[in-house]
Amino acid sequence: MYSRRNIESPNDRQTLEIAEAREIYRTWETNKDRDFVRGRLERAERIYGVGARDRIRTYMNRIKDGLLE
């Protein structure tokens, strides 16, 4: 059985979480919708597992600071 929680490689998970952070951050820049961000982070926690919300927030802050594209 396939589960989206069982991501084969930690590098794959990191890549997916960074992509999620980019999408959430860029959408937030455009709409300034905190409910959207909150909902997407909760969704990410369900998909990527415990701690995903904090990791994605960290990636979002790195994007904001120009450390990630």
Q: Which residue has the higher pLDDT, 56 or 12?
A: 56
The model's pTM is 0.80
Give the dihedral of Cα atoms 8, 60, 29, 26; nearest 10 deg.
-30
Structure token pair of residue 27:
């959408």
The reported pLDDT for the residue numbered 2 is 46
3-state helix, strand, coil in the chain (%, to 5): 70, 0, 30
Quickly state the pLDDT bin for 29 (edges 50, 70, 90).
Answer: very high
CB-based contact 65:41 (threshold 8 Å): no
